[in-house]
Amino acid sequence: MDKIVVLDFGSQYSHLICRRIREFSVYAELVPYDISLEDLKKHNPKGIIFSGGPSSVYDPEAPIPEEEIFNLNLPLLGICYGHQLIVNKFGGKVKRANKEYGSSLLTIDNDKDLLNGVGESVRAWMSHGDEAEVIPPGFEVIGHTKSAKAAAIASKERSVFGIQFHPEVVHTEQGTEILRNFVLKVCDAKQDWTMEGFIESEVEKISKIDGNVLCGVSGGIDSTVAALLIHKAIGDRLKCVFVNNGLLRLNEEKEIDEMFKNNFKVNFTTVDASETFLNKLKGVEDPEKKRKIVGEEFISVFTKFAEKNGPFKWLAQGTLYPDVIESGVSKGPAAVIKSHHNVGGLPDWLNLEILEPLKELYKDEVREIAKILEVPEKLFMRHPFPGPGLAVRIIGEVTPKKLQISKLASKIVEEELIEANLYGDVWQAYAAVGDDKAVGVVGDERKYGNIVMIRVVDSIDAMTADWTRLPHGLLEKMSNRITNEIEDVTWVTYTISSKPPATIEPQ
């Protein structure tokens, strides 16, 4: 498989470069900027891209890749900081300039290769402090903006290019075309990255492993697709276990059980541990304590299952590529959030090796595999759901009554969003409930009932989120249904706090 390697200098857009390239069926992988020459060669890349990054090339701490990487006779494209690195390394000069953020008009001066077919001028997304003042000898300017004379440059002798703008963001018109020119025309990479091909090669790889595989499935798309791929390769040597912790969405335990049993024919067991979970949570109000209890109980159920149904040699997980990168490159809050998702903390004596068949993939690629493997669409269109489930959506103690209210009210929120054709547009949507009460009038009687909070947010990666401006008519409909259909609810509120300072889940 032909591959483009992207060296990550820390831009928030580095990931997007790989995604854009994969969208036209060429495999691209992000690696740390300080990868050794030896490791880089192991990738056998058809071309190299330097990402952007927050540094200035003149900072004493500026990230600089191994010198020899510049001298490999491979096509090279520098973006933003990567552009300045190229200018600097090949003998040009970079200077501090006025910061330029946002869209600028890029005029094309030479459309021979990199900028071929993009037109006479395009809007390009800029985000930089430094700029190229003197271009290196042997280079020419192939594009400029009003403020950046050398916004795009090319070597006349080698396939080396630098661009000050970000082709990977949607705000750059023809950005994908520019990446496509580099990857397909300059690097001559083959478009051989397809999900059908991935399934085939992954299944072949997995079929060579020996021993049994244990896979905890949550009903979410990642663990489901991981399980199906492994099942395709080793059949019943894969055993899937789904733990019903009693904290799932309305009827979800039944739906997941049926989906696995009817649609997939994998070796699948549902362990109903709802009573134990809910007993352990009795009287507990503190959010972190609740999370801890759910985590520990899960491990305990999982371990018992492994002991009884083993021996297992492997533990399968639905880890995705962004999870791998987050845990390797940055250890920011994202890594902490993700740590909830995976089955961590299993006893060492279980001695399981980890199998992560999706660890090279992005979410949209996993969705594509799900389609190919005929996973019901309903499953992969579903919003993400927290591991501790409703324990973090119920404020204070988890009681049967609050559970029921949260389940029913969330169902109404989901149904109404689907009806309004807005479900797919929002990141998460549910109804939370706590212990606060308010007076209402039901029939002729005054009633002291629960307050339900509707929470609907927009987000890209859950790191930040904005409350969704839903139409008032839709909110009204949700509110009416919730108070009419759920006994004991008298008031419905809509949360208008974004993250930060709030979080998506209330607990």
Query: Which residue ranges make up the site for ligand XMP (CB under 6 A)?
Result: 291, 337, 340-341, 384, 386-388, 392, 428, 462, 499, 503-505
Q: What percent of the chain is helix, strand and coil (3-state, nearest 5)? A: 35, 25, 40
Quote the CA–CA distance of 215 and 266 in Å, as a whole number: 11
Catalytic residue among 18, 100, 128, 168: 168
Q: How near is the Cβ of 78 to ligand XMP at its closest, in Å?
A: 34
Q: Is 133 a known active-site residue?
A: no
- Which tokens belong to 390? 């409703």
Nearer to ligand XMP, 160 or 227 (CB): 227
DSSP state of 99: E
Nearer to ligand XMP, 242 or 312 (CB): 242
Q: Identify the burial level of 443 via C-beta atoms within 10 angstroms of its C-beta, where 0-12 means exposed, 13-18 middle and 19 or more buried.
A: exposed
Query: Closest Cα partner for 399 from 283, 258, 271?
Result: 283
DSSP state of 169: S
Contact 8, 31 (CB under 8 A): yes
Nearer to ligand XMP, 49 or 504 (CB): 504
Secondary structure class of 263 (helix, strand, coil): helix
- Which tokens belong to 202? 């992954």
Quote the CA–CA distance of 252 and 259 in Å, as a whole number: 10
Residues 6+ apart with CB under 8 A from 417: 423, 426, 429, 456, 474
φ and ψ of 11, to 5 deg: -70, 150
Nearer to ligand XMP, 80 or 293 (CB): 293
Alpha carbon separation from 283 to 235, 272, 279, 395, 398 (Å, rounded) = 43, 21, 9, 12, 8
Nearer to ligand XMP, 165 or 380 (CB): 380
Determine the longest span between alpha carbons in the chain, in angstroms: 87
The residue count of the chain comes to 507
Nearer to ligand XMP, 310 or 384 (CB): 384
Nearer to ligand XMP, 143 or 388 (CB): 388
Q: Is 168 a known active-site residue?
A: yes
Quote the CA–CA distance of 75 and 155 in Å, as a whole number: 10
Nearer to ligand XMP, 160 or 429 (CB): 429
32 beta partners: 8
- Which tokens belong to 173? 């018109």
In degrees, rounded to 5, the angle at the alpha carbon of residue 426 between the alpha carbons of residues 485 and 396 is 55
Q: How near is the Cβ of 457 to ligand XMP at its closest, in Å?
A: 9
Q: How near is the Cβ of 475 to ligand XMP at its closest, in Å?
A: 21
Please, what's the b/e burial string for 15-24 (b: 16 or more CB within 10 A of its CB; e: otherwise)? Answer: bbbbbbbbbb
Nearer to ligand XMP, 83 or 455 (CB): 455
φ and ψ of 343, to 5 deg: -80, 80
Contact 244, 274 (CB under 8 A): yes
Q: Is 80 a known active-site residue?
A: yes
Cis preceding linkage at 500, omega within 30 = yes
Chain CA centroid to CA 47, Å: 25
Quote the CA–CA distance of 178 and 174 in Å, as a whole number: 6
Nearer to ligand XMP, 264 or 298 (CB): 298
Catalytic residue among 80, 187, 215, 240: 80
Place of tokens 């991981």: 226
Catalytic residue among 15, 83, 144, 166: 166
Q: How near is the Cβ of 503 to ligand XMP at its closest, in Å?
A: 3
Quote the CA–CA distance of 488 and 497 in Å, as a whole number: 25
Q: How near is the Cβ of 321 to ligand XMP at its closest, in Å?
A: 18
Crossing angle (nearest 10°) for helices 287-309 and 274-281: 150
Q: How near is the Cβ of 384 to ligand XMP at its closest, in Å?
A: 5
Catalytic residues: 80, 166, 168
